[in-house]
A and B are shown apart, each in its own frame.
Chain A
Amino acid sequence: MRAERPSLVDPWPLRIIAGLLIFAFVALFLALPLWTLFAQAFAKGTEAYLRAIDEPAAWSAIKLTLTVAAIAVPLNVVFGLAASWAIAKFQFRGKQLLTTLIDLPFSISPVISGLVFVLLFGLQGWLGPWLRAHDIQVIFALPGIVLATVLVTFPFVARELIPVMEAQGTQEEEAARLLGASGWQTFRRVTLPNVKWGLLYGVLLCNARAMGEFGAVSVVSGHVRGRTNTMPLHVEILYNEYNLTAAFAVASLLALLALATLAAKAALEWRGRTEIAS
């Protein structure tokens, strides 16, 4: 009697059920909310949509959000590169601790991430009185919002790079050093080109979160309309003012920024794959 070979293909009922489940899930939790968002934003027509966005407070929120991302993301790129390089390519005491610390912002609530800065820089906090004496405003102003955003988006670049760098090992760097390259040359000519796709991917994720962060920023913002409201905070304010169309219009802009980020990510992955294949 011939033994039956175990099938590598799942039986068709299972495949159909799994397919339906995935479809239902995507439709219910991704497509439907997105559709609602845009439907509500355009509920009163394109003109109302444009009017809701072309308004000083909305513009200032858009500008602030982009400014914060433009400062926070490069900072985290520098930090993420340095940290992942150190962790993946070198052995040193405290490496495990550093790896754990990088993950910390993922595991603490964003509200706490905001509150620590109030406790540090608030007028009743450690550094507050000194800052006030020197007329430096940290919380309830741009620096505080940037700090909170940097803290929350801290792990994205490093987390993305560490596995890539570890997978590549240290052989190429060792070869470069043997051929006489300096440390900086090794990093710039060997390490960086090897991880560029991973780096760009990390930057995109970091950027998406930096623009979308609500909790931590809400704590340090002070909610001054037209000055310290980021886009997510502005959406909440508009919603609370019964201004549904405007709230959804600004929210749809945020969603568009996120979708653009995703599209860029997909394009990068595709390019990265073709480059590796060639």
Chain B
Amino acid sequence: MRRPLLRLAAISLVLVGSAMAQAQAQTRLLNVSYDPTRELYTEINKAFTDKWKKDTGEQLLIEQSHGGSGKQARSVIDGLEADVVTLALAYDIDAIAKVGFVKEDWAKRLPFNAAPYTSTIVFLVKKGNPKGIKDWGDLIKPGLEVITPNPKTSGGARWNYLAAWAWAKDSNGGDEAKARDFVGQLFKHVPVLDTGARGATVTFTERGVGDVLLAWENEAFLALKEFGADKFEIVVPSKSILAEPPVAIVDSVVDKKKTRKQAEAYLAFLYTAQGQEIAAKNFYRPRDAAVAEKYASTFPKIELVTVDGAFGGWAKAQAAHFADGGVFDQIYKPGSR
């Protein structure tokens, strides 16, 4: 009876040992990102490690972790050792800065508010648009089901929410009460809140729940690419929001792991022509003028409001809408449809 146990223990020791030996073989960077960027960063990582190898001779291994933006920030705060964070919105990096892992001035350390690419929020509907959804106002038609993730955990969901709010406010002559009323009604049409954008996309596309998905533009394009343009189509609303997903180095981690040089080069790579081209190919709107020109036909022109312009910045928007007891908590009552 003792021998099998001993053997098990021996095997497990060997396994753990080999795992640790592998771990020290090369320089590793961990990119903790939000939900829809899996494909983007798989491609970026490959291009960057090739370039870094050519330039410096060092073999890098870049690891990825994906999930709802707020949840990912929470993991980094709890000790997930990310060298860089590439999240859905500035507030989530601010939250990491608040505990001191990222320097307060992170947004000024890289061009364009440290957001190397932008996106916006569009609608994904079934082919032929059977419910005739054209703009935000159509989403609260009786019987319609809207799919969006949970604004508490997902960055994309917060952009969805703010875009809806901005449209409702502007189409009611700036009336905040009417905007609140509209967003409240909108969430009465939401049957399920996933924790991240990709979960919501899967709910809509694969499980077939709901009539319309409020989605990142890049996520909607990717769904068209995956499932074919004969299954779904994108509806561009009259107005949406300029989403700026920011990136930052996690200072406490790179200083400890001595990976600052590699991490900085990695984020800078996102701004190069090559990085911008990869972003555009993955349906993120590039910042670089030349690349933007080249891909101009991909991205429809939409009137875009900004968080700074319409909501006075992320800190304010977060406190008013998504904090505990904020407007979202007041208007969203699960089950009360």
Chain A interfacial positions (CB closer than 8 Å to B)? 63-64, 66-67, 70-71, 73-74, 77, 118, 121-125, 128, 132, 135, 137, 139-140, 142, 192-193, 196, 222-227, 237, 239-242, 244
Contacts and interface: CB of A to CB of B under 8 A. Distances in A.
A222 B75 contact: yes
A239 B202 contact: yes
Contacts of B19: 63-64, 67, 142
Contacts of B227: 242
Give the one of B12, B81, B198 with max A CB within 10 A: B12
B78 interface: yes
Contacts of B16: 67, 71, 142
Given A124-B99, A139-B79, A196-B1, A71 B12 contact: yes
A-B pairs, top 4 by smallest CB distance, nearest first, are A122-B78, A70-B12, A123-B79, A67-B15
B38 A137 contact: no
A224 B15 contact: no
B78 A70 contact: no
A140 B80 contact: yes
A196 B67 CA distance: 44
Interface of B: 1, 5, 8-9, 11-12, 15-16, 19, 23, 30, 38-39, 63-67, 75, 77-81, 99, 198-199, 202, 206, 226-227, 256
Nearest to A69: B12
A276 B187 CA distance: 63
Contacts of B63: 224-227
B147 to A, nearest CB: 15
Given A67-B15, A71-B12, A226-B63, A240 B81 contact: no
Contacts of A137: 79, 81
A121 B79 CA distance: 9
Nearest to A143: B16
Contacts of A123: 77-79, 99
A240 B1 contact: no
A118 to B, nearest CB: 5
A215 B125 CA distance: 32
A240 B199 contact: yes
Given A67-B16, A73-B8, A224-B63, A118 B202 contact: no
Given A77-B5, A224-B63, A70 B15 contact: yes
Contact of B79 (A63, A70, A122, A242): A122
Nearest to B10: A70
6 contacts: A70-B8, A121-B79, A125-B78, A196-B1, A222-B75, A223-B66
Contacts of B30: 224
Given A125-B78, A222-B75, A70 B65 contact: no
B226 A242 contact: yes
Contacts of A128: 78-79
A57 to B, nearest CB: 10
A196 B9 CA distance: 19
Contacts of B199: 240
Contacts of B11: 70
A192 B75 contact: no
Contacts of A125: 78
A58 to B, nearest CB: 15
Contact of B80 (A66, A71, A222, A226): A222
Give the one of A67, A128, A137 with max B CB within 10 A: A67
B310 to A, nearest CB: 31
Contact of B77 (A77, A124, A242): A124
B72 to A, nearest CB: 9
Contacts of B67: 223
